[in-house]
Amino acid sequence: MEEFRSVRGFHDLLGEDTEKFNTVRQTVRRVLESHNFEEIILPVVEYAEVFQRSIGEATDIVQKEMFVFPDKKGRLLALRPEGTAGVVRAFIQHRLFALRPYTKLFYEGPMFRYERPQAGRYRQFHQVGAEVFGISDPLVDAEIINISYKILKELKIDCTVEINSIGCRVCRPDYRKALTEYLESVAGALCEDCIDRKDRNPLRVLDCKVPACKTAVKEAPRIGDFLCEECEKHRRELTDYLNSMGIPYVENPNLVRGLDYYTRTVFEMVSQELGITVIAGGRYDYLVEEMGGAPTPAVGFAVGVERLAMLVKEPVQKKPLYMVLPMGDTLHYALRVCELLRESGKRVELSYRKGGLKKQLELANRLRADYAVIVGEDEVKEENISVKNLHTGEQIKVSLKDIFSAVL
Ligand code: HAM
């Protein structure tokens, strides 16, 4: 029979890849918890409208990349392509705005986008993301960028921090008009997608990867020249904070992001090694209101776990492995030894195979154990264990009653 394969774009993670993946997750969680973010565990499925309304009808994600399906009553559901929309839905649904003066949440889990798979781009991928609701001060934008920067530093990953402001309801319409006019004038040079985008979502033309489009937008009007006084002040204060926090950044006037909900600050951390964005986020001051809640400023970011895992050189080391090897009729004693070692905090495996010392040691080596704990009939009689360091060959005897205090 032909064997089954995983679905295109959906991957198994094994061995060292899993270790790197968990190193990223745990690092992000640790940094977020140190900034007092609380976890929210969200469903993987939402009504499709939650994403259509938030991410935007005219975005690639909603137009082309969502896994959408009807439930048995014909309501349209979607596998979540990102986390922010679900957090906003929950924030409103559970009236979280009434509980605290402001709210700091984080989430993690799989996201789904029907994109063309390639290195670092999957149809199921994982994010850890964080959102702050209720504060419009650029200090929070700076904190979010600082957290992202710290995550990269802790993981020893080199990235460029790119920032931009994409304005607000006051100033963006004028910019959009100027940009659309400009794009009309260079329409002949744009790719087919951008011809379509220039009317429906002109800002997206600015980060099209097609070389002809890149050249065509070089002379395009820049949002920075159109910012209203408030947006300009926000941008200036943010850069002041980043300077005083010692975070290096570049201002990229073409950074616009692929989701429609952003206002003012947008940012991305771009790996020079892979040439892809690994962390991204920004401010979205109108989204809560647009989803039916009271006007609430918000800002957040999300980490692409697989993308960072690709850049992790050394995953967090696992604890050394102690392999307990029962010889002869010592299994019950060996089981007790295993539990005592585990209670003292060790990673322990019991050999399931029978056989003499040579065979058992060979097995311990093949399972990459660091120590063999030899349990023979002598050990049972003397109430001790023999611990052999499999790297150095050194062997010591430890009495059972000293197992918690012994340095093994
Ligand atoms: P995003 O830029 O769409 O933003 O995704 C954030 C990160 O998820 C990306 O930088 C990337 O690392 C990872 N990612 C996205 N798509 C894929 C894929 N197909 N395969 C692998 N990794 C991927 C958001 O999702 C926003 N919700 C971020 C945010 C939170 N903004 C404010 N709050």
* pLDDT tens digits along 11-31: 999 999 999 999 999 999 999
408, amino acid identity: L
In which residue ranges of the chain is CATH 3.40.50.800 found? 321-402
Distance from Cα 350 to the centre of ligand 1, integer Å: 42
Distance from Cα 310 to the centre of ligand 1, integer Å: 15
In which residue ranges of the chain is CATH 3.30.930.10 found? 15-171+227-311
Mean pLDDT of 198-205: 89
Is residue 167 within 6 Å of ligand 1 at its C-beta?
no
Rounded Cα–Cα distance for residues 105 and 37 (Å): 5
- Hey, which CATH number is domain 15-171+227-311, 3.40.50.10490, 3.30.930.10, 3.20.20.10, 3.40.1190.20? 3.30.930.10
Rounded Cα–Cα distance for residues 262 and 213 (Å): 23
Instruction: Please name the residue that has the structure tokens 């922010």.
Output: 84
Pure H helices in 217-304: 229-245, 287-290
Is residue 106 within 6 Å of ligand 1 at its C-beta?
no
Does residue 406 register a pLDDT over 80? no
Tell me the CA distances in angstroms from 131 to 278, 301, 332, one per residue in order.
17, 7, 52
Distance from Cα 359 to the centre of ligand 1, integer Å: 50
- Hey, which CATH number is domain 321-402, 3.40.50.720, 3.40.430.10, 1.20.1070.10, 3.40.50.800? 3.40.50.800
Residues 283 and 262: beta-carbon distance below 8 Å? yes
**Pocket test residue of 111, 143, 157, 285 for ligand 1, highest count of atoms within 8 A of CB:** 111
Mean pLDDT of 103-116: 97
Rounded Cα–Cα distance for residues 363 and 323 (Å): 9
Pure H helices in 106-191: 138-154, 172-185
**Pocket test residue of 32, 59, 125, 287 for ligand 1, highest count of atoms within 8 A of CB:** 125
pLDDT tens profile 304-351 = 999 999 999 988 888 999 999 999 999 999 999 999 999 999 999 999
Say how many residues make up the chain.
Answer: 408
Is residue 152 within 6 Å of ligand 1 at its C-beta?
no
Q: pLDDT grade, residue 354 (50/70/90)?
A: confident
